[in-house]
Amino acid sequence: MKANWLSQIILIIILISNLPLHSQQSELSKSVNYLSEFIASDYFIDLKKENTDLELVDSLYIRALKFYKYNYQEALLALTFTTIPYREVPLVIPLIQTTIYYPLISANDSISNLKNQNLPSKLFFDTPDNDFGDKDKLAHFFGNGFIGYSESILDLADVFGYFVEVFEEDFKVQSDVDYRDIDVNWYGVLFGDMLETNKNLLPSQIMIMRSLRYFIFAL
């Protein structure tokens, strides 16, 4: 099963890297470096002292939009790669069962480490009470937001959701598929879909919906 999912993940990478809007990988690399440096900066650390993590997510989102002059598709893709808390993804070659490490677009080691340390983590009412929290959910959210907004010719939302999950398992971040990841994927797609008609929408407004939904059901 994992080999099958990884084959689809490779397909996603190929499709994304060959979309006309993203043919110049140097521009995407530049934006990922820019956003990573922003998160790793002392300025962002100061923001963390005065703002909630949801407000920090909005600040990061707005920063990406400004970088791309409000090209929402480009900004969402850059945010996806920026918020993945790893620099490589392990891919298993099915026939020979050999693992190769596919390098993701990312900043250098020192910036990536600081960026990962500063990533907003307290995003939902059920965020785990530890230092890592929900840092991995940002890539799920923005990645599926990119797909929802782009209206890809293929239905890649569910597959992209597993993009992060598969190498989380290999990196021992979690032992099996997290139902919360699947849930966040759906809200990411919703965010992308709604952006098409409401350009003023912020990530926090959709993330809050997830928490409110569960509180309403609890009542």
- pLDDT tens per residue across span 69-98: 999 989 998 998 899 888 877 666 666 677
Contact of 161 with 149, CB cutoff 8 Å: no
Lowest mean pLDDT among 7-16, 95-104, 144-153: 7-16
Tell me how far apart the 2 most distant CA atoms of the chain are, in Å.
Answer: 53
Model confidence at 152: pLDDT above 90: no
Name the residue range of residue 123's domain: 2-218
User: How many separate domains does the chain show?
Assistant: 1
Instruction: Give the mean model confidence (pLDDT) for residues 164-175.
Output: 48
Residue 91: predicted pLDDT: 66
Please list, residue by residue across 159-184, b when 16 or more beta carbons sit within 10 angstroms of its beta carbon and e when fewer do. Answer: bbbbbbbbbbbbeebeeeebebbebb
Whether 185 has a pLDDT exceeding 80, the answer reads: yes
Average pLDDT over every residue of 24-32: 81
Question: How many other β-carbons are positioned within 10 Å of the β-carbon of residue 42?
Answer: 7
pLDDT at 136: 87
132 pLDDT higher than 80: yes
Residue 3 has pLDDT above 80, yes or no: no
Whether 53 and 120 have beta carbons less than 8 Å apart is answered as: yes
Which pLDDT does position 175 carry in this prediction? 44
Q: What mean pLDDT value characterizes the chain?
A: 78
Give 121's pLDDT tier (boundaries 50, 70, 90). very high
